[in-house]
Amino acid sequence: MPRPSTSTGLEDGPRALTVTEVTDRIKNALEGSFRGIWLEGEISRLTRAPSGHIYLTLKDSRAQIQAVVWRSTAARLKFDLESGQEVLACGDVTVYPPRGSYQLTISKLEPKGVGALQLAFRQLVERLSKEGLFDEARKKALPYMPEHIGVITSPTGAALRDILNVIDRRFPRVHVVIYPVVVQGEKAAGEIAAAIDTFNLRGDMEVLIVGRGGGSPEDLWAFNEEVVARAIYRSEIPIISAVGHEIDYMVSDMVADRRALTPTEAAEIVLPREADLKASLDVHVQRLRSAILGRASVAKERLRQMRARHGFRIPAEKIRQNQQAVDERGAGLGRSIAVILGRWKDRIGSTAARLETLSPLRVLGRGYSITLRQEDGAPLRDANEVAPGDSIETRLARGRLKSRVTETTPQEP
């Protein structure tokens, strides 16, 4: 059988391209033609790699394209990506040669139909609310008259001047400690959270004011960051959040123990006016004086009524009656004691007579004696208990005799 021909038929024609060469040509053509394009689509197959990169697919009803968000871009996103989200993505179409596939390298990403900041705010509020960071039951009461106040804000902003001016007018002798931070930009949230933690480590502040003056949503965004919300939540010191103007409502306002509409209002909330305190004190003094005079008047009237009673007109009679009652009870007690003592005397006499009858001395008085071994004082009952030469002692009814045994005569059994 003849061998099949291995000729390509291109010996005299153009050279065959390698896969790499074709891929490179496609890469140059695509990447040169699709730069900075905007795509609208739905996110699916969302994957977050350990490296921080995000891989996803953008699709519509008829087609789909792979996409990647590099870690540096992902770190700047203001909202969380979720499968099913409708988004607007801006980026470059690139080719990934190892797979021979094209993809969209995303540089900007916005939610469709709602701003990125608004969506990020909504997502964070929903997540923190489920964790209980906004619960009213966990919020701490503000001290009525703090002596040490911490302020976390920009050292050059109008908010700080407003706070200090109000405090100086209301109660100038209060000790205020300022922790300067940047209040907008990428570093702001981290600095604000660190300042809250630092004041808690110091332990000498009674209340904190955290805030800044007005600005755009982007300017105020640091107070919507999760790191600030969690720092406020874990603070042992009560916190007043004072950000922007009345219409501005931040995540920090929801977590804080008290929200102030403006930095100026925060200073008004944290301290009463000294003049108001004095006026309130005067009112309380007047009420106390009136209460004391009223009670004194009531007591005086009661004393007058008591003096008018019979017992107060002739107190000696009451005393005599009590003395007579004491005498009568004393006489009765004396009689009872005499009866008891007589009974005990008779009982003691009877017991003594019985003891006298049983007394050994009474036996000795009838001519009997007791002989003791002098060595140990033991009474002798048997002649075998001593030997010739032992010393003995004989006790009589009156007196004692000491002698030595010269002979013993034991009794036969």
10-residue mean pLDDT series, the chain (413 residues): 48 75 80 82 88 89 88 84 83 84 86 72 88 93 92 93 91 90 92 96 94 88 93 96 88 94 92 69 77 83 74 66 77 82 82 68 68 82 80 80 82 67
Phi (first) and psi of residue 89, to 5 degrees: -120, 135
Tell me if 205 is assigned to some domain.
yes
CATH of the domain at 168: 3.40.50.261
pLDDT of residue 32: 75
Do 77 and 183 lie in one domain? The reply is no
Tell me if 323 is assigned to some domain.
no
Do 253 and 158 lie in one domain? The reply is yes
pLDDT of residue 11: 57
Q: Which of 217, 250, 272 is the last residue of a domain?
A: 272
What six digits make up the tokens of 360? 């050994």
pLDDT of residue 280: 67
Do 281 and 393 lie in one domain? The reply is no
Do 154 and 263 lie in one domain? The reply is yes
pLDDT of residue 265: 93
Tell me if 390 is assigned to some domain.
yes
Q: How many of the other CB atoms lie within 10 Å of CB of 297?
A: 10
Would you mind telling me the total number of residues written for the chain in this entry? 413
For the entire predicted model, the pTM comes to: 0.51
Do 248 and 376 lie in one domain? The reply is no
Concatenating the DSSP letter of every residue in 285-354 gives: HHHHHHHHHHHHHHHHHHHHHHHTSHHHHSHHHHHHHHHHHHHHHHHHHHHHHHHHHHHHHHHHHHHHHH
pLDDT of residue 376: 84
Do 125 and 256 lie in one domain? The reply is yes
pLDDT of residue 1: 45
pLDDT of residue 6: 46
State how far the alpha carbon of 334 is from the alpha carbons of 39, 131, 323, 325, 345, in Å.
118, 83, 16, 14, 16
Tell me if 317 is assigned to some domain.
no
pLDDT of residue 387: 83
Do 191 and 288 lie in one domain? The reply is no
pLDDT of residue 365: 64
pLDDT of residue 310: 62
Tell me if 74 is assigned to some domain.
yes
Do 150 and 238 lie in one domain? The reply is yes
State how far the alpha carbon of 275 is from the alpha carbons of 153, 162, 171, 236, in Å.
28, 20, 9, 31
Phi (first) and psi of residue 16, to 5 degrees: -70, 140
pLDDT of residue 372: 82
What is the domain extent for residue 389?
364-404
